[in-house]
Structure 1
Amino acid sequence: MTRTALVWFRRDLRCHDNPTLAAAAEADELLPVYCFDPRAFGKREYGGPNSFSFEKTGGHRTRFLTESVADLRERLREHGCDLLVREGKPEDVLPELAAAHDADELHCSTYPTSEEKDVESAVTAALSDEGVEVQSHWGHTLYHVDDLPTDPRVIDDTFTPFRKAVEAESTVRDPLPEPALPPLPVSVGDDTGEVPTAPFGTDPATADDRGALPFAGGEGRAIDRVEEYIWEGDHLREYKETRNGLVGADYSSKFSPWLALGCLSPRYVHDEVRRYEAERVANDSTYWLLFELCWRDFFQFQFVKHGNQHFRREGIRNRTDVTWLWDDRRFRLWATGQTGIPFVDAAMRELNETGYVSNRARQNAASFLANNLRLDWRHGAAYFETKLLDYDPCSNYGNWAYIAGVGNDSRDRQFDIVWQANRYDPDAAYVKRWIPALEPFSAEEAHEPWTIPRHRRRDHGLELGTDYPEPMVRLERT
């Protein structure tokens, strides 16, 4: 009797080290499916107390996603299979496909946030009515959830104890090889579907050429980027020293967009780092890249533990002592890079024009909104959700809550933005790249244009409030 398996791709758009695909490939026939879910596009409610509307997926991530799905299809075809692409809710689409092609089982990756768990539960319920068994697989973290020293529901809420525990007591599993794939059911015919260019009316965006890297979606490009950064460019040996850079392709690995969509496995990156350490050098920089992957894991497991508490304004610390404000005008100035604080504005302009911004710059932009303006941090986090190529719900909302002081750190996380600007952008190359009106001025002046004497501003054609905004708040260096 022929055994047919559906494999539902979600944020695991790869063939290498994919436990879901490997398990499904043991069947006689394979039906790989990707669903463009209408709930992931357009205006949506945030949900919960004090809800608000925001755009779920912006143009930059839409482009990156459609490229990644198209790349996955090509890679599956190279393995003698194919990818069915559909537009609709998975709990509607997948049972129809299971019935049409007499599927026996469905395999999918599982994720810790309620939004993703709810869709998985709906799919499971719908398929159970069809007699189709659903098997879920954990495969998006460096350390497997079953290999943690303690149950994730009781892990420490502080990163350092978590890191020390997993480094001492857990082992990173070996990546799985790409499996040999069985063919599609004959009943599929040519009905594989097209990858939409503008799913549910969300148009893809083209990145500004001032961006750090021309990000292209897909597993193929992800593997190439690992090769370029680690091996060809030999940048890993200096990662710890350069990772806070702001301009250029190689100050950091920039693996995050591919990790977020599952085009790249963190265990693959781990193995490449270990091979680099064996063949070239092992130092603080090679360790630090794995350290950052451990941070990524920490937020994934924190959402297993705390669930929706991470999305609440009061956060996991239940902070009720902070008065969060809402001012649409001030928020729009922040979102469009018109605050009058160049380091913040450069970050937001880069984000809007490319879908990517360095970790250092995004932390400062987040701190300004949450700590200087005291605007509801969730609005900022939701704006990043819309814009970021590398949007991952756990990393995004976990980091925002951390900066806002309601998450995994009890310390004051307010950034001294002028100090940060001078420390990490000492020649003001970054702010001048995104704010051309500041080009004629010295680095110190470019970071604090409100201090420039009127006659110098006049000589260089800069009028504050016209050519560049007056600062929303006054920031002084400490």
Structure 2
Amino acid sequence: MSGKTILVWFRKDLRIHDNEILAEAVRKGDRIIPVYCFDSRQFEMTSFQTRKTGLIRTRFLLESVADLRDSFKRAGGDLIIKFGKPEIILPELVAKYQVNEVYHHREVASEETRVSADVENALWKLKINLKHFIGHTLYHKEDLPFPINSIPDVFTSFRKKVERDGSVRACHETPGKMNFPENLESSKLPNLSDFGFDEHVPADERSVMKFYGGETEALKRMQDYFWDTNAVQNYKQTRNGLIGSDYSSKFSAWIALGCLSPREVYWEIKKYDQAYGSGDSTYCLYLELLWRDYFRFMFKKYGNKFFQKIGFKGIAPEESKNQQELFELWKNAETGIPFIDANMKELNATGFMSNRGRQNVASFLVKDLKVNWMWGASYFEEKLIDYCPANNWGNWAYVAGVGNDPRVYRYFNVLKQAMEYDPYGEYVRLWIPELSNIPGAGVHQPWNLSQTERSEYQLVNYLTAPPYTPELVFVKK
């Protein structure tokens, strides 16, 4: 086969817009071979007895890969879809299609970087180069005002220097014409049952929105949030919300799989600011993108320390003797604290939880129940539709006091938080219908009800009190 053939290995960059590996492959190659591998290791059990990828994110991933395949089919080609280990599959495809070079985006977490190294070694034996690109962040690491090993450990210091001296690159152009080998094989997309999941589990109607995977839906959501509803203008006021689609952007699920580029969002913010004037809400949305960048760079700086109980601060948080029992109560939404249980029910049913909810359930697990924070991080890894290693483990380490929080002993009083962010109990009633008859904020403390009130409100199947010492929560102010 004459000319240059480049294999484009897609991982968490499931889009054709602002995708450097695709743009460069189209520019430098005569033909491209797009490939996605469902790495079997990403669907195994962890040492914490959780799945690395649960049903909801698997469904979202399948939808996203299907959408990427449709994009290549519209361009006259296809996406080769495989199930197995990339270090075995990619060399086979390289040999079959006489590939000259392989492109991929570099990851930052240890498991993903280990796979890249294994692929690189396997390709090296065939005298084929694996070319690494950096394309998951808003700011390219080369445009930061400091080297990775000198990045401040406090976000505020990082933010100030980046805002002053950093710059965001323009998006890469979406390729026009793409050429593919004539004999490119057609692939079958796996089903949920291939991963051991029930095909017929319906989506929960109480979900904040219907998340559907893929670049098409991601761009549609961005159009809707910025322009069709103008919801972004209220983001600063609504970002601590708990119910509904527009209290926050909900971009995170698509960004996590690379269906939506953070740079694309950034330049949409700039476009919006130009049309309506810059304001606090769009700036706050930008800060969320920057916070995401920060943890990816922190992972680059500290590596596996984020996967150790003592983090990079070297502090071992206090742990309860019966933490296994307490962890089961927490993950099954049976703590008896309605605000915590409601958030966990939402996570378990939909794969999503508000930022406010995540902070509270994490703090409660670590600071009140005194359970190993890594158990919580691992459970989130399984359940979250928007899971990404750096964000998840970085934020959990932050809450546990072993990461980037300068206030090691930061504490969330969950009752106070419940009263402030769910003052009428609407969120709790939505997710715990057993409490729906309790009026007002009383829904947050059902243990204060008399036996007569419990009968009146039909609390037959709900706990009379939290199944552990309540002082853990209520003594602290």
Q: Same fold (TM over 0.5)?
A: yes
- Kept in 1: contact 2:365–2:373 (CA 8 A): yes
Residue 181 of structure 1 and its aligned partner are, at CA, apart by 4.5
Aligned to 2:187: 192
- Kept in 2: contact 1:339–1:469 (CA 8 A): no
* Residue type of the alignment partner of 1:458: S
- Kept in 2: contact 1:36–1:199 (CA 8 A): no
Aligned to 2:21: 20
For the residues of structure 2 that align with 1:82 and 1:271, how far apart are their CA atoms?
A: 29
- Kept in 1: contact 2:36–2:81 (CA 8 A): yes
Aligned to 1:446: 443
For the residues of structure 2 that align with 1:342 and 1:415, how far apart are their CA atoms?
A: 15
Residue 459 of structure 1 and its aligned partner are, at CA, apart by 1.3
Residue 146 of structure 1 and its aligned partner are, at CA, apart by 1.1
For the residues of structure 2 that align with 1:221 and 1:143, how far apart are their CA atoms?
A: 24
For the residues of structure 2 that align with 1:322 and 1:328, how far apart are their CA atoms?
A: 14
* Residue type of the alignment partner of 2:98: D
- Kept in 1: contact 2:154–2:406 (CA 8 A): no
* Residue type of the alignment partner of 1:125: N
CA RMSD of aligned residues (A): 1.5
For structure 1, list consecutive stretches of 5 or more residues without a partner in the other structure.
Answer: 46-51
For the residues of structure 2 that align with 1:354 and 1:469, how far apart are their CA atoms?
A: 27
Aligned to 1:264: 260
- Give the alignment's TM-score, normalised by structure 1: 0.95
For the residues of structure 2 that align with 1:330 and 1:194, how far apart are their CA atoms?
A: 39
Aligned to 2:382: 386
Residue 73 of structure 1 and its aligned partner are, at CA, apart by 0.4
Residue 185 of structure 1 and its aligned partner are, at CA, apart by 1.4
For the residues of structure 2 that align with 1:424 and 1:199, how far apart are their CA atoms?
A: 41
- Kept in 2: contact 1:60–1:206 (CA 8 A): no
Identity of aligned residues (%): 45
- 1:215 is paired with a residue whose SS is coil
For structure 2, list consecutive stretches of 5 or more residues without a partner in the other structure.
Answer: none
- Kept in 1: contact 2:373–2:397 (CA 8 A): yes
Write the deviation string for residues 16-69 of structure 1: whole angstroms up to 9, x where unpaired.
001111111121111000000110003133xxxxxx332111000010000000
- Kept in 2: contact 1:6–1:31 (CA 8 A): yes
Residue 203 of structure 1 and its aligned partner are, at CA, apart by 4.2
* Equivalent of 2:410 in 395, 409, 413: 413
* Equivalent of 2:251 in 255, 260, 267: 255
Deviates more, 1:335-344 or 1:313-322: 313-322
Write the deviation string for residues 365-408 of structure 1: whole angstroms up to 9, x where unpaired.
11111110000000010000000000010000000111111110
- Kept in 1: contact 2:435–2:457 (CA 8 A): no
Determine whether 1:2 maps to 2:9: no
Determine whether 1:280 maps to 2:276: yes
* Residue type of the alignment partner of 2:438: F
Determine whether 1:337 maps to 2:333: yes
Determine whether 1:373 maps to 2:375: no
Write the deviation string for residues 94-114 of structure 1: whole angstroms up to 9, x where unpaired.
000000000000000111111
Aligned to 1:291: 287
- 1:96 is paired with a residue whose SS is helix
* Equivalent of 1:423 in 412, 420, 429: 420
- Kept in 2: contact 1:70–1:195 (CA 8 A): no
Write the deviation string for residues 281-339 of structure 1: whole angstroms up to 9, x where unpaired.
31111110001110000000000000000110001101036346553222111101110
Aligned length: 469
* Equivalent of 1:172 in 168, 172, 183: 168
1:208/1:167 Cα in 2 relative to 1: closer, same or farther (>3 Å)? same
* Residue type of the alignment partner of 1:17: D
For the residues of structure 2 that align with 1:197 and 1:181, how far apart are their CA atoms?
A: 33
Deviates more, 1:264-273 or 1:446-455: 446-455
Aligned to 1:49: none
For the residues of structure 2 that align with 1:375 and 1:457, how far apart are their CA atoms?
A: 31
* Equivalent of 2:152 in 141, 156, 165: 156
Residue 80 of structure 1 and its aligned partner are, at CA, apart by 2.2
- Kept in 1: contact 2:240–2:421 (CA 8 A): yes
Residue 122 of structure 1 and its aligned partner are, at CA, apart by 0.4
- 1:55 is paired with a residue whose SS is coil
* Residue type of the alignment partner of 2:429: K
Alignment of 1:304-383 (within 5 A): 304-320=300-316, 322-323=318-319, 325=321, 327-383=323-379
Aligned to 2:31: 29
For the residues of structure 2 that align with 1:324 and 1:268, how far apart are their CA atoms?
A: 45
- 1:173 is paired with a residue whose SS is coil
* Equivalent of 1:43 in 42, 45, 52: 45
For the residues of structure 2 that align with 1:114 and 1:434, how far apart are their CA atoms?
A: 36
1:359/1:3 Cα in 2 relative to 1: closer, same or farther (>3 Å)? same
Aligned to 2:462: 467
Aligned to 2:51: 55
Residue 91 of structure 1 and its aligned partner are, at CA, apart by 0.3
Alignment of 1:391-410 (within 5 A): 391-410=387-406
- 2:46 is paired with a residue whose SS is strand
1:359/1:469 Cα in 2 relative to 1: closer, same or farther (>3 Å)? farther
For the residues of structure 1 that align with 2:14 and 2:383, how far apart are their CA atoms?
A: 20
Write the deviation string for residues 148-174 of structure 1: whole angstroms up to 9, x where unpaired.
111112211100010111110011101
1:326/1:220 Cα in 2 relative to 1: closer, same or farther (>3 Å)? farther
- 2:35 is paired with a residue whose SS is strand
1:326/1:132 Cα in 2 relative to 1: closer, same or farther (>3 Å)? farther
Residue 253 of structure 1 and its aligned partner are, at CA, apart by 0.4
Write the deviation string for residues 127-156 of structure 1: whole angstroms up to 9, x where unpaired.
111121111111111101111111112211
For the residues of structure 2 that align with 1:24 and 1:254, how far apart are their CA atoms?
A: 31
- Give the alignment's TM-score, normalised by structure 2: 0.95
* Residue type of the alignment partner of 1:3: K
